[in-house]
Structure 1
Amino acid sequence: MLEPEMAAFIERSTTLYPAHQSASSPREQREMYDRYAAAFTPPLPAGIVTQDAVFEAKAGHLIKLRLYRNDAQPGSAVRGTVLYFHGGGFVLGSLDSHQLVTARIAADTGLDVIAVDYRLAPEHPAPAAHDDCLDVTLAALNGRLPFKPFNTFGQPPHNPLQLAGDSAGATLAASVAMRLRDDRVEGIHGLALIYPMLGTEPQMPARDTEAHAPMLTLADVHAFRDFYWGKEPPYPAWTIPLDATRFNGLPPTLAAAVEHDPLRDDARVFIDRVNAAGGAGRLWIGAGLVHGCLRALESSPGAQALHREVCQFLRAHSSHAT
């Protein structure tokens, strides 16, 4: 059963971003998605300041970044940084589309949050988005991101570093964490996955029971998958977290899923495998919620609970707590 506030959110959302838009061209989808996201994006929270920068990837192209910092208490020490990879099925999304999420995480954790504007499909198929997020993460770990010191704090973003993302962005966060583990690169202190997509086919039973869920259907998942990975394997192995051969050696991991989502059981299976391998995984499932529900943060008690869960996890694994 849907939370009442979530039902109202869905009704408003479908007037701005009608169902079955995965059948439209990527350009048409992006135009509608950007208008939809803007309608749910409030002004920046009090005390949040931003700085934009451009990072040059190893391949030579430019990746836009945006840093959010809580400036509400001048002189206080920033406790760490979160790299955030936005959702949108690898086809949609931008620095602006997920500002509601990134700004609120910065406001409510006191951590720096850096949003990453990775390349999108189908113009840039797999593993383009993964490569961009890996490049940015390695630069962050090495203190090479191109942000200038803020006047208030007199310091650029710094470690410890955590990774976070929603939907397709959670694929990117999990993949990068697993790639760094395989390459024996240390320094990721936490991994927060929000209604994550972690494979090329959703896990059962939600794959079938929620195939026609509001906000994201199984058909939508398949369409976005095909735009990014293509319709036929083989796919770049490191880009699909649930296809990994091992799940040990990962940082503490939160997977926050929602009830009415064909991707719901991706989170459950991933955390089960992490814990079975001796890791520290936590599964949270929001009853009555739908995919993309953080856009209802101002009205939905369930979305607020999800946000609190993510913020508590990120604070617990910041330098303040270690």
Structure 2
Amino acid sequence: MLEPQIAAFIDRASTLYPSHRAALTPREQRALYDRYAAMLTPPLPRDLVVRDAGLTTDAGHTIALRLYRRQAQAREHGDIRGTVLYFHGGGFVLGSLDSHQMVTARLAMDTGLDVIAVDYRLAPEHRAPAAHDDCLAVTLAALGGRLPFDMPADATLQLAGDSAGGTLAASIAMRLRDDGVAGVRGIALVYPMLGTDPQPPARDTEAQAPMLTLADVHAFRDAYWGKNEENKQHGGSPAHGPAWTIPLAGNRFDGLPPTLAIGAEHDPLRDDARVFVERIRAAGGDAQLMIGTGLVHGCWRALETSPGVQAMHRTVCDFLRDRAMQPA
């Protein structure tokens, strides 16, 4: 059953973001999505500093970044130093620095950590592993002290993301482990997409869930990773795209940073979070699972009204703060 405040949120969202959106071109979808997000984005907190910059990769393209930092006078006694790289959702097709500002701004204000939003390349213009490559480049730059911001030398680093951004955060953590690169203290995943097909039973029981259907998931998947037949023709995996970009396709789940994974009850992706946590725990790792009762995919935008989303947000903030305070 939907939380009453979430039911009201869905009604409002459906008027701002109509269901025929899938018939639009990617450019039209992005414009509609950004307008929808803007209507649900409150003004920036007064005590928050926001700075834009770009990171030029070895491949020669520039990734736009946005830093959110709580002003010194607004900081609490004993505030911790730390950075969170945030990878936005949108199915690898939608989303921008602006579309998820209500999330990134509140994370910075409510944790006291620096939050850096990453504007990675989008599909279908840029197929897999373009978004992953961009987020990996930014993460390596952060670990190497090469971000275009004035960052404290002793700041910790964590990765976070929602939906497709959860895919990116989990994939990058797994890739760093495989490459022997240390330094990420934790990863926080909110209603993440961790495979190319959602895990049962939610894949079936929530196939027609509000805000995100199974058909939506498959459309976004094909836009980024390509269809099975396309991958076969281009020498890729018949199970969609480069294996390192699909967390649940991994052969190992040990050696990862402490992980928080949150699923929404009414979301075909709900059990991706559960299965990922179960596999990490089975490998001896540290992983926490939260299932948001009565919540739906994309519900973080209901933070101002929904008790369930507020609890979810507090869980993310507590996890990020706790991990930033842990000794290296």
TM-score (normalised: structure 2)? 0.94
2:15 maps to 1:39: no
How far the C-alpha of 1:47 sits from its partner, in A, is: 1.2
Q: Percent of pairs identical after alignment?
A: 71
Deviations 1:16-71 (A, max 9, x none): 10124223211111111000000000011231111110100121000000000011
- Which of residues 158, 164, 167 is equivalent to 1:168? 164
How far the C-alpha of 1:188 sits from its partner, in A, is: 0.4
Which amino acid in structure 1 is aligned with residue 99 of structure 2?
S
2:310 maps to 1:300: no
Corresponding residue pairs, total: 316
How far the C-alpha of 1:156 sits from its partner, in A, is: 4.9
What SS class does the counterpart of residue 179 from structure 1 fall into? helix
Q: Matches of 2:61 and 2:126 in 1, distance apart?
A: 12
What SS class does the counterpart of residue 43 from structure 1 fall into? coil
Whether the 8 Å contact between 1:198 and 1:267 is mirrored in structure 2 is yes
Which amino acid in structure 2 is aligned with residue 178 of structure 1?
M
Structure 1 residue aligned with 2:123: 121
For the structure 1 residues 157 and 12, does the alpha-carbon distance in structure 2 shift closer, same or farther, using more than 3 Å as the test? Answer: farther
Structure 2 residue aligned with 1:152: none
Q: Matches of 2:154 and 2:8 in 1, distance apart?
A: 40
2:145 maps to 1:139: no
Whether the 8 Å contact between 1:217 and 1:261 is mirrored in structure 2 is yes
How far the C-alpha of 1:135 sits from its partner, in A, is: 0.2
Q: Which runs of 5+ in 1 are unaligned?
A: 150-154
Structure 1 residue aligned with 2:283: 277
Q: Matches of 1:166 and 1:75 in 2, distance apart?
A: 30
For the structure 1 residues 177 and 111, does the alpha-carbon distance in structure 2 shift closer, same or farther, using more than 3 Å as the test? Answer: same
Whether the 8 Å contact between 1:85 and 1:164 is mirrored in structure 2 is yes
For the structure 1 residues 103 and 157, does the alpha-carbon distance in structure 2 shift closer, same or farther, using more than 3 Å as the test? Answer: farther
Structure 2 residue aligned with 1:5: 5
Name the Cα RMSD after superposition.
Answer: 1.5
How far the C-alpha of 1:248 sits from its partner, in A, is: 0.1
Deviations 1:185-228 (A, max 9, x none): 00000000000000000000000000000000000000000000
Structure 2 residue aligned with 1:310: 316
Structure 1 residue aligned with 2:205: 209
Q: Matches of 1:265 and 1:54 in 2, distance apart?
A: 35
Which amino acid in structure 1 is aligned with residue 185 of structure 2?
H
Q: Matches of 1:9 and 1:193 in 2, distance apart?
A: 22
Structure 1 residue aligned with 2:54: 54
Q: Matches of 2:4 and 2:20 in 1, distance apart?
A: 23
- Which of residues 97, 104, 107 is equivalent to 1:105? 107
- Which of residues 273, 293, 297 is equivalent to 1:291? 297
> Which deviates the most, 184-193 or 13-22?
13-22
Which amino acid in structure 1 is aligned with residue 266 of structure 2?
H
Which amino acid in structure 2 is aligned with residue 252 of structure 1?
P
How far the C-alpha of 1:73 sits from its partner, in A, is: 2.9
For the structure 1 residues 224 and 55, does the alpha-carbon distance in structure 2 shift closer, same or farther, using more than 3 Å as the test? Answer: same
2:195 maps to 1:199: yes
Q: Matches of 2:25 and 2:213 in 1, distance apart?
A: 17
Which amino acid in structure 2 is aligned with residue 185 of structure 1?
V
TM-score (normalised: structure 1)? 0.95
Question: After the TM superposition, which residues 204-283 of structure 1 pair with which residues of structure 2 at under 5 Å, given as runs?
Answer: 204-232=200-228, 233=231, 234=237, 235-283=241-289
Deviations 1:92-128 (A, max 9, x none): 0000000000000000000000000000000000000
Whether the 8 Å contact between 2:75 and 2:112 is mirrored in structure 1 is no
Structure 2 residue aligned with 1:18: 18
Whether the 8 Å contact between 1:143 and 1:158 is mirrored in structure 2 is no
Q: Matches of 1:166 and 1:139 in 2, distance apart?
A: 22
For the structure 1 residues 211 and 74, does the alpha-carbon distance in structure 2 shift closer, same or farther, using more than 3 Å as the test? Answer: closer
Q: Matches of 1:156 and 1:249 in 2, distance apart?
A: 27
For the structure 1 residues 207 and 49, does the alpha-carbon distance in structure 2 shift closer, same or farther, using more than 3 Å as the test? Answer: same
Whether the 8 Å contact between 2:84 and 2:159 is mirrored in structure 1 is yes
What SS class does the counterpart of residue 210 from structure 2 fall into? coil
